[in-house]
């Protein structure tokens, strides 16, 4: 495919994104700044937010987290999950990269680079356990990946997170460190608490997304659901994300401004993680003989993480002002610009790839 043919296609993909989608990193930075200013202007904000809770999470944050999850899960075409079985190679590679390689890599990086900061280390491990189910679809589209494969893998990861997140949390936060002789005295996490947080902040929007599609398509048809309903609710996810970041940074503002070196240390393993996961997954897909669209989808779904879920779990288990929650908040700060940059790397590679059918 020539460069003159590729450029209009890439331009069309970008045009289809709203202004909110295109400049998401800008809005995230603005939300962080607004949160810091709000925290300084309202010192008693934490007490107000803790008045009403959902589980262990204050109601405003809980609503923000649920709102950001629902629209993305409503976009998944649940009736096409059976297509995964038709490409067992992509399915197997995705499962291995997401549920074996990803968590293990983050565990190793967290212990290697943050051995003296147990709260941040735990927060990063939680980020590594939360696999992609949200914004990765946007990055995949921009990079001209396989949209249907991305939807299937995202849906599969959603199911696996409900089933496996608590188990893997117990394994990487308790069992494995103990077996390796690592210091785990400062880590006290019940797998049931993690599972409960997952069921609330992933299970509820997952069920709502599934029911929305089923009911919407049965009553109005798929064309109405995807062309009219989804575009209307789509921005809600980003509004929920930005609202949550504002509140979180308002509560974490003192820590962020007082300990910028700690924030930088949290960012370092995250940068290494995203770069290694994306490049490694891309190399695996190419070596396996996958087409460019499938390889791109494999790389982004393996490198992306569900920072919404990681933040929810960290808040629910450790508290909104904990170091674990701060590590979760730093997650999108690093992930969004890195994955945006990797979109351009993918498009550069696409021009040099002999596309396979």
Domains along the sequence of the chain with CATH: 3-181+188-350 (1.20.1530.20)
User: How far does Cα 234 stand from its chain's mean position?
Assistant: 16
What SS3 class is residue 322?
coil
Token digits for 230?
């989804």
Spell out the long-range contacts of 187-194 with Cβ–Cβ below 8 A and sequence spacing 24 or more: 187/118, 187/122, 189/122, 189/317, 190/317, 191/166, 191/167, 192/166, 193/316, 193/317, 194/165, 194/166, 194/169, 194/170, 194/313, 194/317
pLDDT of 185: 46
Please name the residue that has the structure tokens 């994306």: 278
pLDDT of 141: 77
Average pLDDT over residues 47-75: 74
The per-residue pLDDT for range 136-153, each reduced to its tens digit, is 777 887 788 887 788 788
Question: Largest Cα–Cα distance of the chain, in whole Å?
Answer: 60
Q: Is the pLDDT of residue 132 over 90?
A: no
Q: Is the pLDDT of residue 6 over 50?
A: no
Average pLDDT over all residues of the chain: 80
- According to the per-residue pLDDT averaged within each range, which of 28-32, 56-60, 93-97 is highest? 93-97
The per-residue pLDDT for range 188-224, each reduced to its tens digit, is 555 566 567 667 777 788 889 889 999 999 999 999 9
Using alpha carbons, select from 151, 124, 332 the residue that is nearest to residue 240.
332
Report angle CA 308, 310, 315 to the nearest 5 degrees. Answer: 95
CA distance 322 to 317: 10
Q: Which of 2-11, 23-32, 117-126, 234-243 has the lowest mean pLDDT?
A: 2-11
Burial class (CB in 10 A: 0-12, 13-18, 19+), 42: exposed
* Cα pseudo-dihedral 193, 196, 202, 207, rounded to 10: 170
Token digits for 10?
């890439």
Name every residue whose Cβ is closer than 8 Å to that of residue 165 and which is 6 or more positions away in sequence: 129, 130, 194, 195, 198, 202, 309, 313
CA distance 242 to 333: 12
CA distance 319 to 192: 16
The per-residue pLDDT for range 73-90, each reduced to its tens digit, is 788 777 766 765 677 889
- According to the per-residue pLDDT averaged within each range, which of 129-133, 169-173, 183-187, 292-296 is highest? 292-296
What SS3 class is residue 305?
strand
Q: Is the pLDDT of residue 124 over 50?
A: yes
Token digits for 118?
């147990």
Average pLDDT over residues 11-22: 57
Percent of the chain scoring above 90 in pLDDT: 25
Residue scoring higher pLDDT (69 or 189): 69
pTM value is 0.75
pLDDT of 356: 47
Average pLDDT over residues 101-125: 94
The per-residue pLDDT for range 265-323, each reduced to its tens digit, is 999 999 999 999 999 999 999 999 998 989 999 999 999 888 767 877 787 777 777 88
In the beta sheet, which residues pair with residue 152?
A: none
Residue 1 — very low, low, confident or very high, per pLDDT cuts 50/70/90?
A: very low
Strands annotated E in the chain: 53-54, 57-58
């Amino acid at each position: 495919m020539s460069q003159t043919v590729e450029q209009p296609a890439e331009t069309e993909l970008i045009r289809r994104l709203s202004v909110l989608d295109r400049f998401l990193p800008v809005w995230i930075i603005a939300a962080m700044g607004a949160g810091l200013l709000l925290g300084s202007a309202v010192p008693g904000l934490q007490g107000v937010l803790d008045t009403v809770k959902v589980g262990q999470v204050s109601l405003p944050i809980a609503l923000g987290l649920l709102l950001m999850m629902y629209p993305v899960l409503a976009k998944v075409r649940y009736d096409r999950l059976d297509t995964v079985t038709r490409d067992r190679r992509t399915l197997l590679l995705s499962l291995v990269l997401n549920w074996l390689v990803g968590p293990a890599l983050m565990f190793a990086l967290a212990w290697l680079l943050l051995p003296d900061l147990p709260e941040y280390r735990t927060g990063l491990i939680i980020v590594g356990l939360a696999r992609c189910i949200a914004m990765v679809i946007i990055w995949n589209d921009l990079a001209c990946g396989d949209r249907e494969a991305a939807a299937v893998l995202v849906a599969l990861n959603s199911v696996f997170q409900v089933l496996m997140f608590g188990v893997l949390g117990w394994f990487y936060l308790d069992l494995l460190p103990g077996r390796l002789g690592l210091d785990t005295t400062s880590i006290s996490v019940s797998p049931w608490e993690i599972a409960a947080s997952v069921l609330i902040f992933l299970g509820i929007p997952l069920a709502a997304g599934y029911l929305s599609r089923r009911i919407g398509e049965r009553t109005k048809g798929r064309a109405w659901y995807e062309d009219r309903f989804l575009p209307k609710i789509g921005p809600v996810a980003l509004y929920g994300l930005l609202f949550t970041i504002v509140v979180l940074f308002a509560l974490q503002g003192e820590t962020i401004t007082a300990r910028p070196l700690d924030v930088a240390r949290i960012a370092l393993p995250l940068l290494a993680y995203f770069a290694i996961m994306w490049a490694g997954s891309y190399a695996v897909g190419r070596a396996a003989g996958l087409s460019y669209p499938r390889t791109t989808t494999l790389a982004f779904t393996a490198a992306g993480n569900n920072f919404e879920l990681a933040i929810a779990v960290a808040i629910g288990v450790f508290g909104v002002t904990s170091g674990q929650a701060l590590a979760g908040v730093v997650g999108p700060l690093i992930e969004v610009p890195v994955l945006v940059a990797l979109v351009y790397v993918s498009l550069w590679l696409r021009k040099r790839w002999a596309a396979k059918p």
